[in-house]
């Protein structure tokens, strides 16, 4: 009988202690024993479109170092996506500053800070935004960093779509920065019997050279050549010779050149 009373007393004492042990104490005990169970935290939802938007800088590239300018960004929502794009954030590179923004047609609101700009709609749930298969154009006023030229500023972005209030990582885009003292001159050398304003189809090519002059030679600068045939007197002159992208190479201490043929 005495043994039974002792057992009953021990059990009652343990039950009393169990009621007093806090949840924090239980977690501590479990941690000490190596058996710690944690309640999972809900992960924030992110944008659910399968494809990132396609970004194209259609204005303001390249830019002069230290000189404020507008950059124009085209945002295309691929047709294969399921949801409208309802928010778009742009974060400027280190050393750059943002001092204004201008909105588009679908993303018709914007705000900005010194480090970036946000474009959005008033109602994300109702599907306002850039529909799949369509695009919008937004604008950011930036002052690029100064330093050695040419240099590249890499902008990062975040994207929101109709499926969720969360944002996901969007594509980056790059803007080239050149010396504010840069001057570009173009020379055209006609091949054969052609002239600068008259071309015979199938004859010798034209050589076009860009000479870039700056405080120091700007090697590595991207030159985009485009010829539309404007001003040609010959009816055989093609409507367009096409385009070419060439990188400059140093010629002297202050000049760099790039050339192509059409």
CA distance 262 to 116: 41
pLDDT score for 260: 85
CA distance 89 to 126: 20
pLDDT score for 14: 41
pLDDT score for 1: 43
pLDDT score for 126: 57
Query: How long, in residues, is the chain?
Result: 262
Show Cβ contacts of residue 106 under 8 Å, excluding neighbours closer than 6 positions.
84, 85, 121, 128, 129, 130, 131, 134, 136
CA distance 99 to 34: 54
Q: pTM for this structure?
A: 0.73
What's the N-to-C CA distance of the chain in angstroms?
A: 111
pLDDT score for 123: 65
DSSP letters of 192-244? TT--SS---TTSPPEEEEEEEE-SS--TT-EEEEEE--TT---TTS-S--EEE
For the record, the structure tokens of 192 come out as 């054969």
pLDDT score for 122: 78
CA distance 204 to 194: 8
Output phi, psi for 105, to 5 deg: -90, -45
pLDDT score for 138: 98
Task: List per-residue pLDDT tens for the chain, 262 residues long.
Answer: 434 433 444 444 444 444 333 433 333 333 333 333 333 333 344 558 999 999 999 999 999 999 999 999 999 999 999 999 999 999 999 999 999 999 999 999 999 999 999 999 976 555 589 999 999 999 999 999 999 999 999 999 999 999 988 999 999 999 999 999 999 998 888 888 888 777 777 788 888 888 999 999 999 888 888 766 555 544 444 555 667 888 999 889 999 998 888 7
Vertex 49 angle, CA 140 and 41, to 5°? 100
Cα torsion angle, 143, 146, 149, 152, sign:
negative
CB 96 within 8 A of CB 147: no
CB 221 within 8 A of CB 176: yes
Strands (DSSP E) along the chain, which ranges?
Answer: 54-59, 63-64, 69-76, 85-91, 97-102, 109-113, 116-120, 135-143, 151-161, 168-169, 173-178, 183-190, 206-213, 222-227, 242-247, 249-250, 255-261
pLDDT score for 128: 82
């Amino acid at each position: 009988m005495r043994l039974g009373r002792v057992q009953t007393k021990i059990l009652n004492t343990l039950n009393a202690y169990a009621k007093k042990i806090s949840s924090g104490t239980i977690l501590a005990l479990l941690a000490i024993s190596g058996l710690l169970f944690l309640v999972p935290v809900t992960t924030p939802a992110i944008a659910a479109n399968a494809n990132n938007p396609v970004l194209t800088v259609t204005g303001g590239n390249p830019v002069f170092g230290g000189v404020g300018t507008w950059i124009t960004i085209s945002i295309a929502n691929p047709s294969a996506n399921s949801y409208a794009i309802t928010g778009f954030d742009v974060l400027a590179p280190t050393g750059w500053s943002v001092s204004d923004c201008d909105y588009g047609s679908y993303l018709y609101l914007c705000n900005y800070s010194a480090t970036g700009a946000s474009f959005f709609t008033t109602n994300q749930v109702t599907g306002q935004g850039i529909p799949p298969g369509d695009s919008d154009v937004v604008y950011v006023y930036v002052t690029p960093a100064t330093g050695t030229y040419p240099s590249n500023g890499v902008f990062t972005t975040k994207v929101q779509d109709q499926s969720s209030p969360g944002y996901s990582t969007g594509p980056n885009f790059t803007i080239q920065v050149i010396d504010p003292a840069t001057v570009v001159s173009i020379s055209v050398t006609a091949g054969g019997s052609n002239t600068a304003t008259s071309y015979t189809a199938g004859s010798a090519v034209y050589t076009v050279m860009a000479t870039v002059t700056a405080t120091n030679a700007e090697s590595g600068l991207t030159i985009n050549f485009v010829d539309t045939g404007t001003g040609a007197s010959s009816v055989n002159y093609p409507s367009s010779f096409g385009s070419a992208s060439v990188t400059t190479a140093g010629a002297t201490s202050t000049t760099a050149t790039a050339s192509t043929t059409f």
